[in-house]
Chains A and B, each alone.
Chain A
Amino acid sequence: MSTTEGLLGRARAAEPADTIAGVAPGQVVSPASTAETAEVLREASARGLTVVARGTGTKQTWGAPPSSVDLVVDTTRMAAVVEHAAGDLIVHAQAGITLAALQETVAPAGQRLALDPLCPGTLGGLIATAGSGPLRYSHGAVRDLLIGITLVRADGVVAKSGGKVVKNVAGYDLGKLLAGSWGSLGVITEATFRLHPLPATSRWVAAPVDGATDADALVQAVVHSQTVPSAVELDRPADDPATLAILVEGTEAGVAARVAALRDLLGGTPEVRDTPPGWWGRPPVGDTLLKLTHEIAGLPRLLDALDTATARHGGRAAVRGSAGVGILHATLPGDAEAVRAVVAELRTASAAWGGDVVVLDGPPEVDPWGPVRGLDLMRRVKDQFDPEHRLAPGRFVGGI
Chain B
Amino acid sequence: MADIPALAARLRAALGADAVIDDHTQLRTYECDGLAHYKVTPALAVLAEDTRGVAEVVRACHETGVPFVARGSGTGLSGGALPRADGVLIVTSRMRNIVTMDPANQRAVVQPGVINLDVTRAATPLGYYYAPDPSSQQVCSIGGNLAENSGGAHCLKYGFTANHVTGVEWVAPDGEVIRLGGNAPDPTGYDLLGAIVGSEGTLGIATEVTVRLTRLPESVRTLLAAFGGTDEAGAAVSAIIGAGVVPAAVEMMDALAIEAAEAAVACGYPQGAGAVLIVELDGPAPEVERQFAEVEARCRANGAFEIRIAADDVERALFWKGRKSAFAAVGRISPDYIVQDGVIPRTSLPVVLRRISELSASGGVRVANVFHAGDGNLHPLVLFDDSVPGQAERAEEVSGAILDLCIEHGGSITGEHGVGSDKAKYMPRMFTDDDLDTMQMVRCAFDPHGLSNPGKIFPTPRLCGEVPGRRKGVHPVQEAGLAEAF
Contact = CB atoms under 8 A, between A and B. Distances in A.
Pairing of A with B:
yes
Interface of A: 48-50, 67-68, 85, 87-90, 110, 130, 136, 140-141, 143-144, 151, 153, 157-161, 163-177, 179-181, 185, 196-198, 200, 220, 223-224, 226-228, 250-251, 253-254, 256-258, 291, 293-298, 325-327, 353-356, 358, 367, 369-375, 377-378, 380-381, 383-385, 387-390, 393-394, 396-399
B41 interface: no
Interface residues of B, number: 103
A259 B108 CA distance: 30
B300 interface: no
Contact of B410 (A165, A325, A356, A369): A165
Interface string B446-457: 100000000001
Given A254-B286, A380-B446, 15 more contacts: A49-B472, A87-B241, A159-B432, A159-B435, A164-B345, A167-B155, A167-B412, A169-B149, A177-B192, A200-B244, A226-B284, A295-B105, A298-B105, A298-B184, A399-B474
A144 B414 contact: no
Contacts, number: 318
A380 B284 contact: no
Q: Which residue among B241, B430, B467 has the maximum number of chain A CB atoms within 10 Å of its CB?
A: B467
A67 B480 CA distance: 13
Contacts of A177: 190-192, 194-195, 442
A169 B416 contact: yes
A384 B467 contact: yes
Contacts of A88: 345-347, 376
A164 B217 CA distance: 30
Interface in B276-295: 283-287, 289-291
Contact of A167 (B148, B151, B291): B151
B104 A144 contact: no
A297 B445 contact: no
B148 to A, nearest CB: 7
20 contacts: A50-B473, A136-B185, A157-B434, A161-B435, A165-B412, A167-B343, A169-B412, A169-B415, A173-B149, A173-B195, A181-B190, A198-B244, A228-B215, A250-B287, A254-B286, A354-B183, A370-B188, A389-B471, A399-B474, A399-B482
Contact of A144 (B163, B188, B436, B474): B163
B254 to A, nearest CB: 19
Nearest to B202: A172
Interface in B353-382: 372, 375-377
Nearest to B159: A144
A383 B290 contact: no
B198 interface: yes
B446 A258 contact: no
Interface stretch (B27-35, B56-64, B174-182, B326-334): B174-182
B242 interface: yes
Contact of A160 (B149, B188, B376, B431): B431
Contacts of A370: 188
Contacts of A297: 104-105
Contacts of A291: 186
A161 B439 CA distance: 8
B419 interface: yes
B391 interface: no
A223 B107 CA distance: 13
A39 to B, nearest CB: 15
Interface in B378-427: 410-419, 423, 427
B184 A294 contact: yes
A385 B445 CA distance: 9
A294 B199 CA distance: 27
A196 B442 contact: no
B125 interface: no
Contact of A180 (B159, B190, B436, B483): B190
Contacts of A353: 184
Q: Which residue among A141, A160, A167, A326 has the maximum number of chain B CB atoms within 10 Å of its CB?
A: A167
Contacts of B268: none
A386 B314 CA distance: 56
A169 B241 CA distance: 23
Given A295-B107, A389-B473, A180 B186 contact: yes
B479 interface: yes
B470 interface: yes
A327 B184 CA distance: 8
